[in-house]
Amino acid sequence: MNSNNKKTEHYFAKPGVANIGLTKEDIKTSFLEKLFYSLGRIPVVATKNDFYTSLALTVRDRVFRKYVKSLEQYAEEDARGVAYLSAEYLPGPHLGNNLLNLEIVEETREALAEFDLDLDELLKEEVEPGLGNGGLGRLASCYMDSLATLGIPSIAYGIRYEFGIFKQEIQNGWQVESTDKWLQKGNTWEILRPEISFEVKFGGNTEHSRDENNKLHIEWIPDSEIKGTAYDTPILGYQSNSIILRLWKAEATESFDFAAYNLGEYYRAVEKKMRSENITKVLYPNDENLSGKELRLKQQYFFVCCSLQDIIRLHLLQGRKLETLHEKFTIQLNDTHPSIAVAELMRLLLDVHHMEWEEAWKVTKSTFAYTNHTLLPEALEKWPVNLLRNLLPRHLELIYEINSRFITEIREHDFTGEQISRMSLIDDRGEPTIRMAHLATVGSYKVNGVSALHSGLLKEEVLKDFAQLWPEKFTNVTNGITHRRFLAVSNPLLAGLITEKIGKGWLTNLDKLKSLESFVNDEDFRRKWMEVKLENKKNLAAQIKEFTGFEINPEMLIDVQVKRIHEYKRQHLKVLHILSLYMQIKEDGQNNIPPTAFVFAGKAAPGYFMAKRIIKLITAVGDLINNDPEVNKILKVIFLPNFSVKLAQHVYPGADLSEQISMAGKEASGTGNMKFALNGALTIGTLDGANVEIREEVGEENFFLFGLTTEEVAERKKAGYHPYKIYSENEKLKRVLDFLLSEELTKGDTELFRSIYDNLLNQDPYLLLQDYQSYVDQMENVYEIWKDSQKWAKMSIINVANMGKFSSDRSIKDYCEKIWKVKAVKA
């Protein structure tokens, strides 16, 4: 194909080249072609999954058509672009989102109806890629949606885990994990790029020598080598461009020459192949806790090494010099997981491309930018020096060199010895480790946190010395979510009502929602608003019935906390409140509590003892309450197993109340908080993460605030915190806490929740007892307002109307302006 100066459109215009159309008839034709020629099926034997796959292939063709157009445009304009490096992605199901973005939902629905097929049934067939733990991975996927929609030249890199985040089941009230075999039925959305493949070395040692000109040459002699191969998934934006999610799969390097091996060697060779493929087998299921496992570091280095080689390939392909890499690319590090990239780029520039140190360092620190997602000390990555020496000996040398030059630099400033050792990339107070956040900070031109509060704390606490040294390096980009997936796709009824009132401009400009405010006093509009919510609650009730067997009355207040299970997120504070209501009903007889369904969902890291116990506590309280005829007409407690993007899309639209109750200063941003508010739930929350900004936007009178502020938390702890004192002085709280050890709750196993009880009474590191009364009091207020359904509806409308800021389109524009200096290229 001679493609000189021929745009893809040229070929599409030619007779005989498929013109991939978007009408109902086009979709029908493609759908049948896929069923017959790609799958070799006829309708009588085709399964639901065959039909799903035919439709997915039909849509994929159209998405790729958008992609080639985008690619052409990016190449033509020789535009500066973004490479996003993330160890995690949680894209959610692709099909529904792609249909929305192609604007063919109705055409497709009608096309399928002519074959007696129901679109919604086929959508349910899709298995989502669970290639992340939670907020961080989902954020990366929201950003891809916005990058594509806004037409920002970009590519996202990650790991093609064969098994994603474990599948969670609840057995006897406990979390039980099993492997997530998401590829079992194949993956329609990806295409293998066998020729985009790179070698990755591990182990061995380095050899230093000098040539005739006394120039130092360093060679890394590894002891093993593996290969990473690209799998591409197109991510389509709304009405516009598409970008690629490029995930690397590990494979053995040698292709096996069967004849050359005798039987014994053959098996050893295959074993080696299997071992190397281990690298991308499974996602580590820890959200905010480092595992310290060698395989995890191997994963990180593996995907970074492939991605950087690919970026360099793309750069050189355009006929450019490596000295200008930072002019054409900016590489965003999604937390420290890819931060070994700083050393790897130095290695590639110095050892492979023979650049001088000064030049290489200039390019490196002008290329990377780093996003921090947590301040929790147990989540800050530190790799033992010994592990690095064994696995990446050359990188360790480079890190030492970067560090020594950095220390020399800061010695020239007014830093104390104490500060210098605090800032060092190497922590040698115990077993020597590398502080990856410091490596990322030193090797980047910008560092950002993910909410105003979090970015402030980052500068004042975790990276304060660096902020003193380089104040202009630090900035904030408040997180955002894609309102297309989390409103248009997942909540078609509310989206429809909004569009009916204000038009569909909000799909590309969420600030347009503001005009909904003018309808708060329109009684008819409020009625419709509440009808939509009720429909969504019925749908959520149906999901609850399907996945737990429990029935809830959709008229109940649906009070929801869905997120990873973590002590700092304080799911157990919610449980204490539920127990206080239970005791009120049991001991004080009937009362003022409105009928409420408490809905929880979220995974616990398999090795996190307390988190798993908290799940057991929730389900034990559920058992007690749901089976008590005196209580279960008023209260229900539901734990929805195996939370996922797919399930989340049913949960947010059906929620009335959103629980965002972390201890102030601990939740970097939160993004579920935004998804709930965008779907009309009201929030009860602390002044933590992005809650602060949500409350600012919606107005304090439309937000249920409780608890200590970050500053108060610090003061409280400094003054000496004594949870036992609070326990003994608050009679009702004391009864609730003692109930954790009761026969009734534990069914006789009274030690079951001892660890939670003891922890709260003795340490209570996240100040549950401190914030308890304030929480319970604010819940009283929630109940007062809930009883005034008109007032509640007004607050709900005002919340939605003020969510404009939390679109990931705004976040991506912020990244473009404040950090990347990248401009949109629209196809």
Q: How far is the CB of 281 from ligand Z2T (least distance, A)?
A: 19
Candidate residues 81, 134, 158, 685; the one interacting with ligand Z2T per rule CB under 6 A: 134
Q: Contact, 222 vs 203, CB < 8 A?
A: yes
Binding of ligand Z2T by 139 (CB under 6 A): yes
Structure tokens, 307? 């991605």
Q: What's the DSSP call for residue 478?
A: -
Looking at residues 432 to 491 of the shown chain, list those that interact with ligand Z2T (rule: CB under 6 A).
450, 479
User: In the complex with ligand Z2T, which residue's Cβ is closer, 54 or 671?
Assistant: 671
For helices 691-698 and 452-460, what crossing angle results, to 10°?
140
Q: Contact, 452 vs 478, CB < 8 A?
A: yes
Candidate residues 689, 707, 723, 804; the one interacting with ligand Z2T per rule CB under 6 A: 689
User: In the complex with ligand Z2T, which residue's Cβ is closer, 96 or 134?
Assistant: 134
Q: How far is the CB of 167 from ligand Z2T (least distance, A)?
A: 18
**Dihedral of CA 2/6/10/12: which sign?**
positive
| Residue 327, helix vs strand vs coil | helix
Q: How far is the CB of 289 from ligand Z2T (least distance, A)?
A: 9
Candidate residues 162, 287, 697, 809; the one interacting with ligand Z2T per rule CB under 6 A: 287
User: In the complex with ligand Z2T, which residue's Cβ is closer, 144 or 346?
Assistant: 144
Amino acid at residue number 480? G
Q: How far is the CB of 381 from ligand Z2T (least distance, A)?
A: 8
Binding of ligand Z2T by 135 (CB under 6 A): yes
Stretch that binds ligand Z2T, among 155-163, 206-214, 541-549, 665-673 (CB under 6 A): 665-673
User: In the complex with ligand Z2T, which residue's Cβ is closer, 339 or 642?
Assistant: 339
Query: What b/e sequence results for 722-733 when a residue is b if at least 16 CB atoms lie within 10 Å of its CB, and e otherwise?
Result: ebeebbeebeeb
> Hunting for tokens 């560090």 — which residue is that?
403
State how far the alpha carbon of 449 is from the alpha carbons of 94, 288, 437, 462, in Å. 29, 16, 12, 11
Binding of ligand Z2T by 669 (CB under 6 A): yes
What percent helix, strand, coil does the chain show, rounded to 5? 55, 15, 30
Q: Contact, 451 vs 476, CB < 8 A?
A: yes
Residues forming the active site: 373, 563-564, 569, 671, 675
Stretch that binds ligand Z2T, among 19-27, 29-37, 98-106, 373-381 (CB under 6 A): 373-381
Residues touching ligand Z2T, count (CB under 6 A): 19
User: In the complex with ligand Z2T, which residue's Cβ is closer, 378 or 418?
Assistant: 378
User: Torsions phi, psi of 80, nearest 5?
Assistant: -70, 140
User: In the complex with ligand Z2T, which residue's Cβ is closer, 379 or 824?
Assistant: 379
User: In the complex with ligand Z2T, which residue's Cβ is closer, 50 or 688?
Assistant: 688
Binding of ligand Z2T by 375 (CB under 6 A): no
Binding of ligand Z2T by 398 (CB under 6 A): no
Binding of ligand Z2T by 691 (CB under 6 A): no
Q: How far is the CB of 287 from ligand Z2T (least distance, A)?
A: 4
Binding of ligand Z2T by 516 (CB under 6 A): no
Q: How far is the CB of 642 from ligand Z2T (least distance, A)?
A: 17
Q: Please tell me the distance from the alpha carbon of residue 814 to that of residue 821, in angstroms, as a whole number.
A: 10
Reading phi first (left if > 0) and then psi (alpha if -120 to 50, else beta), residue 748 is in: left
Q: How far is the CB of 375 from ligand Z2T (least distance, A)?
A: 9
| Strand (E) or helix (H) holding 296 | helix 294-317
Structure tokens, 787? 């009883």
Q: Please tell me the distance from the alpha carbon of residue 384 to that of residue 290, in angstroms, as a whole number.
A: 12
Q: Contact, 384 vs 433, CB < 8 A?
A: yes
User: In the complex with ligand Z2T, which residue's Cβ is closer, 292 or 492?
Assistant: 292
Long-range contact pairs involving 743-752 (C-beta distance under 8 Å, separation at least 24): 744/624, 745/620, 745/621, 745/624, 746/620, 747/620, 752/616, 752/620
Candidate residues 373, 650, 695, 810; the one interacting with ligand Z2T per rule CB under 6 A: 373
Q: How far is the CB of 650 from ligand Z2T (least distance, A)?
A: 21
Q: Please tell me the distance from the alpha carbon of residue 477 to that of residue 372, in angstroms, as a whole number.
A: 11
User: In the complex with ligand Z2T, which residue's Cβ is closer, 667 or 809?
Assistant: 667
For residue 309, the Cα-to-chain-centroid distance in whole angstroms is 25
Q: Please tell me the distance from the alpha carbon of residue 370 to that of residue 465, in angstroms, as a whole number.
A: 17
Q: How far is the CB of 478 from ligand Z2T (least distance, A)?
A: 10
Looking at residues 289 to 348 of the shown chain, list those that interact with ligand Z2T (rule: CB under 6 A).
335
Stretch that binds ligand Z2T, among 258-266, 531-539, 662-670, 705-713 (CB under 6 A): 662-670
Q: How far is the CB of 336 from ligand Z2T (least distance, A)?
A: 8
Q: Please tell me the distance from the alpha carbon of residue 742 to that of residue 612, in angstroms, as a whole number.
A: 20
Q: Please tell me the distance from the alpha carbon of residue 414 to that of residue 423, in angstroms, as a whole number.
A: 13
State how far the alpha carbon of 727 is from the alpha carbons of 581, 588, 712, in Å. 18, 21, 19
Candidate residues 86, 101, 133, 307; the one interacting with ligand Z2T per rule CB under 6 A: 133
Binding of ligand Z2T by 659 (CB under 6 A): no
User: In the complex with ligand Z2T, which residue's Cβ is closer, 287 or 697?
Assistant: 287
> In the complex, which residue's CB is closest to ligand Z2T?
135
Candidate residues 32, 105, 295, 379; the one interacting with ligand Z2T per rule CB under 6 A: 379
Comparing CA positions, the residue from 149, 154, 73 lying closest to residue 810 is 149
Binding of ligand Z2T by 288 (CB under 6 A): yes
> How many C-beta atoms surround the C-beta of residue 529 within 10 A?
24
Candidate residues 243, 668, 798, 812; the one interacting with ligand Z2T per rule CB under 6 A: 668
Binding of ligand Z2T by 136 (CB under 6 A): yes
Q: Which residues bind ligand Z2T (CB under 6 A)?
A: 133-136, 139, 287-288, 335, 373-374, 379, 450, 479, 667-671, 689
